[in-house]
Structure 1
Amino acid sequence: MSGSASIGGLASGLDTVSIVNQLMQLEAVPQSRMQTRVSTEQRAVNAMQTLNSRLASLATTAADLAKPTAWSKLTATSSLKDVTVTVGASAAAGAFSVQVDRTALSHRLEHASAVGYDAPGTVPTSVRIDRLDGTVAQDLTTDGTLRGLVTAINDPANKTGLRATAVRVGADASGQDQFRLVVESVATGASSDFTLRDAADGTSPILGGASTRVGRDAQVTVGGGIVATSATNTFKDLVPGVDITLGAAATGLADIELKLDPAATIRSVKSAVDAINSVLTEIDSLTSYNPATKAKGMLAGDSSVRELRGRLLDTVFPTDGTSLSTLGIQTDKNGRLVLDEAKLSEAYKADPDAVQRRLTADGTGFLDRVAEVATAASDKATGTLTQAITGRTSTIERLNDGIEAWDLRLELRRTALTRQFTALETALSQMNSQSSWLAGQISSLASSSGS
């Protein structure tokens, strides 16, 4: 706004402030049009960004499903409930038997002497954990009580790899509760063995010595006589891509079967079809036009978006002239994809490799072509939709620069108009003053003549 003083209407009686404001409204019409276009362009950019996100998600979904690992979907069954099977991506269909010879056990010591839990001097103040695998022994400091030893063994900071429990076994003659110490390795396997001794001499047993349950590895026999062992009850990659886990009570012969899972494959294909239809629905909404109401979508005039819809639908028509309808995939009258899950399941069971090729083959497979179309539109650097967003964003920036320039131009125009009307009022005021003076002079002359 101008710093010039305004004396609107003082001499003329006109509301010059209102006149200036109305003139400024007319001057600001071009700027208002630019602001309206910025708002429209921004809504279009927002719509394109939403569509671009859907396309990027579709590209990822289709590309992932086109990978060979996505089709290695197997279900695993075991004839023993205590033998479970986990299938990885590298597993292949097949069957084999597993005889459970033994499960893995931890190393455990059950000490002979029963003592009071807080009775002092019942255990050494320094107890040595001697691991029998040749590693360096570990000395624990205690307060000379069973409680102190249990606490030291179980303290995470000591990282003993053991767990200790005091088990109440009765009371002595004076009625004091008596406890025996049980210590067990956290890990299972033959290498989990250890002893507890008085650290003072490194040889004397504590608490009257202990009976020992020796740790052991789990063992299974696969097929006719292939023996496998594991320090835990899980056999990693017992066969490529297949882990076998034994329950604590597992025993006997387990028949393992790995077979293709058509249901999982159908779910994957359906997820891709649903993602494509989601994009098509979004495009239809953005490019729609209702002749009756004249209502139209945000991108109704954008031919590139309509062309993108056509390219997505064209992916269902293989370039080799075959039809995906034999796999249950086709278009309906509304321009959407439909999936006949029963037909796809039947085709997959009959020839899974052929179905996989028709859906995933480089350049010709349905999912590969969907990924190609979606990526061509949404790629962060070269995508057609991405570039359109960039172009519209640049237009918005230019318009905002123009709007800012108009702010200065309008401010200068308001200052000029204000000065003009102020000058007018000043001139009229001076003229009114001169008119009053002249009238007074004439009146004086008339009076003089009459006398």
Structure 2
Amino acid sequence: MATSSISGLASGLDTASIINQLMQLEAIPQTKLKNQQSVENDVIKALRQLNTDTALLASNAAKLATAGTWQTLKATSTSSTVTATATSSASPSSFTIVVGQLAKSAQTSYSADVALDANVLTVPGDPVVLTAADGTTHTINAGTGTLTDLAAGINAAKAGVTATTVRTGTNTYRLLLTADTTGAGSAIDLTNVSLGTATTDLGQDAQLTIGGIPASSKTNTFTDLVPGVSVTLAASAKNGDTATVSVAQDSSSVKGSVKALVDQVNALLTSIDTQTANKTSTTAAGVLAGDSTARSLRSALLNTVFGDGTTSLAQYGIQTDRYGKLVFDAEKFATAYAADPAGVAAKFTSGATSATDGWAARVATAAKTATDSYTGTITSAITGHTTTVDRLTKSIADWDDRLEIRRASLQRTYTALETALSNLQSQGNWLAGQIASLPTYSS
């Protein structure tokens, strides 16, 4: 319940201002609590960002720790008209390809020059039947029987054949039918049409020889020509073109992945250093200065370079510098990987036990230990600081109640003071009046 006050009516004092100043002094403990709460909230915000960054590191490290990431076989070709790709199921190999022929689509063209609105049906009203390159037959809705309606009906049938009207002169056109796919098959044919002589060009499969062994494909791509390796013939390929296809380990992609993880670790270490920096004569302390959780994470990440505590990854291109950061030597890594791909992969990927885990797996473990939703060290730290904020929030609210009571008390005190002074002034004025009314005597 609010208490009103009379500010200086009798005393002339600004009692409202005096009360406000006294309340500022009374509120010093609460102000300290609010400042502490603000600091705790800043710490929680920094820890949550650290948790997010560390969780992303854990995810990327786990990817690099999988054996599949290190299946880096790459297929190359000595000819621009022959390209090759390799999957993880391929094996290092080399073979020679000789192009036989390209795949092509079946086509049928008609010799009659007709107008688009000319009727082209032999027997109006009878159905038109299309035989597609795959041998299937389809009844075509030819509409009114004009060339335009016939072409539209063929395309609407979606029978694997595209009809095109080709302009040959002033208002004269011929019909061209083309299979939607390449490969050998039946001739494309139409019944009940008067379009002149039909010229058929059968489709054909692509052909090549590999080491003298013939191979064919309905398209210009030979999928899994050998296990895990597919070959594609360019449109410019010619009969007799020769290419040597080689499948070998390629360190460029995995080297880039290792470098990216090193860079990500260094970025996180730099962030931790900034957040945990102590105050100097020229810079303020970091928001996580003195925080053991962040410093422990830093140590854990840096120590992943040493698998068994003594052996480093220097021979594989990773080591620490005097600033407590990682350095990656891409050339040294590439050399080691070219010499022993499986051995180098084992130094980075997950092992049979945690004791045999490689570097990427150890980074993933260190990061997951910090960010686990239930047992993570960062998670626990966030929970602890959140509990502190909740306690401070309650204490601040309690102080609001205390300060409200104290203000009411001060207001009552000063109101009583003003009332007493006012009464005294009234009595003084009455006495002065009484004295003034007394008779005077002259001697």
Query: Could you tell me the TM-score, scaled by structure 1's length?
Result: 0.86
Indicate if the aligned counterparts of 1:128 and 1:140 stay in contact, CA closer than 8 A. Answer: no
Q: Deviations over 1:34-75 (max 9, x none)?
A: 221222122222222222222222212221112111111122
Rate the CA distance shift 1:138–1:374 in 2: closer, same or farther, 3 A.
farther
Q: What is the identity, as a one-letter code, of the residue corresponding to 1:220?
A: L
Rate the CA distance shift 1:409–1:78 in 2: closer, same or farther, 3 A.
same
Q: What is the identity, as a one-letter code, of the residue corresponding to 2:268?
A: V
Deviation of 1:127 after TM superposition, in Å, equals 4.6
Deviation of 1:193 after TM superposition, in Å, equals 5.8
Secondary structure class of the residue paired with 2:10: coil
Q: What is the identity, as a one-letter code, of the residue corresponding to 1:329?
A: I
Pairing 1:82–2:101 present:
no
Indicate if the aligned counterparts of 2:276 and 2:291 stay in contact, CA closer than 8 A. Answer: yes
Matches of 1:441 and 1:138, distance apart in 2: 130
Pairing 1:386–2:375 present:
no
Corresponding residue for 1:201? none
Rate the CA distance shift 1:340–1:294 in 2: closer, same or farther, 3 A.
closer
Deviation of 1:441 after TM superposition, in Å, equals 3.3
Rate the CA distance shift 1:392–1:442 in 2: closer, same or farther, 3 A.
same
Matches of 1:411 and 1:141, distance apart in 2: 91
Matches of 1:431 and 1:320, distance apart in 2: 88
Corresponding residue for 2:17? 18
Indicate if the aligned counterparts of 2:132 and 2:161 stay in contact, CA closer than 8 A. Answer: no
Corresponding residue for 1:350? 339
Rate the CA distance shift 1:440–1:319 in 2: closer, same or farther, 3 A.
same
Deviation of 1:259 after TM superposition, in Å, equals 0.8
Pairing 1:217–2:238 present:
no
Corresponding residue for 1:196? 190
Q: Deviations over 1:364-394 (max 9, x none)?
A: 3122111111111123332211221232223
Matches of 1:121 and 1:34, distance apart in 2: 94
Q: What is the identity, as a one-letter code, of the residue corresponding to 2:245?
A: I
Secondary structure class of the residue paired with 1:232: coil
Matched residues, number: 433
Matches of 2:111 and 2:203, distance apart in 1: 19
* Counterpart selection for 1:402 from 392, 395, 404: 395
Instruction: Using the TM superposition, name which of 384-393 and 286-295 deviates more.
Output: 286-295
Pairing 1:314–2:308 present:
no
Indicate if the aligned counterparts of 2:132 and 2:159 stay in contact, CA closer than 8 A. Answer: no
Q: What is the identity, as a one-letter code, of the residue corresponding to 2:233?
A: L
Matches of 1:424 and 1:100, distance apart in 2: 112
Q: Deviations over 1:209-263 (max 9, x none)?
A: 52222233333333332x4433322222222322221222333333210111123
Rate the CA distance shift 1:399–1:133 in 2: closer, same or farther, 3 A.
same
Corresponding residue for 2:230? 243
Secondary structure class of the residue paired with 2:347: helix
Corresponding residue for 1:289? 278
Query: Could you tell me the TM-score, scaled by structure 2's length?
Result: 0.88
Pairing 1:207–2:208 present:
no
Instruction: Using the TM superposition, name which of 42-51 and 216-225 deviates more.
Output: 216-225
* Counterpart selection for 1:121 from 96, 119, 122: 119
Indicate if the aligned counterparts of 1:277 and 1:337 stay in contact, CA closer than 8 A. Answer: yes
Indicate if the aligned counterparts of 1:185 and 1:192 stay in contact, CA closer than 8 A. Answer: no
Rate the CA distance shift 1:408–1:163 in 2: closer, same or farther, 3 A.
farther
Rate the CA distance shift 1:120–1:294 in 2: closer, same or farther, 3 A.
closer
Corresponding residue for 1:430? 423
Q: What is the identity, as a one-letter code, of the residue corresponding to 1:402?
A: S
Secondary structure class of the residue paired with 2:84: strand
Q: What is the identity, as a one-letter code, of the residue corresponding to 2:273?
A: D
Matches of 2:364 and 2:5, distance apart in 1: 68
* Counterpart selection for 1:233 from 216, 220, 223: 220
Rate the CA distance shift 1:90–1:49 in 2: closer, same or farther, 3 A.
farther
Contiguous gaps of at least 5 residues in structure 2: none
Contiguous gaps of at least 5 residues in structure 1: 172-176, 198-203
Corresponding residue for 1:73? 72
Rate the CA distance shift 1:340–1:132 in 2: closer, same or farther, 3 A.
closer
Matches of 1:149 and 1:416, distance apart in 2: 100
Secondary structure class of the residue paired with 2:85: strand
Q: What is the identity, as a one-letter code, of the residue corresponding to 1:233?
A: N
Rate the CA distance shift 1:440–1:70 in 2: closer, same or farther, 3 A.
same
Corresponding residue for 1:174? none
Corresponding residue for 2:140? 139
Matches of 1:434 and 1:257, distance apart in 2: 117
Identity among equivalent positions (%) equals 46
Corresponding residue for 1:200? none
Matches of 1:330 and 1:53, distance apart in 2: 26
Matches of 1:194 and 1:135, distance apart in 2: 10
1:320-331 residue pairs with structure 2 within 5 A?
321-331=310-320
Secondary structure class of the residue paired with 1:386: helix
Matches of 1:294 and 1:341, distance apart in 2: 36
Deviation of 1:348 after TM superposition, in Å, equals 1.8
User: Considering only aligned residues, what root-mean-square deviation do their CA atoms show, in Å?
Assistant: 2.7
Indicate if the aligned counterparts of 1:7 and 1:425 stay in contact, CA closer than 8 A. Answer: yes
Rate the CA distance shift 1:377–1:439 in 2: closer, same or farther, 3 A.
same
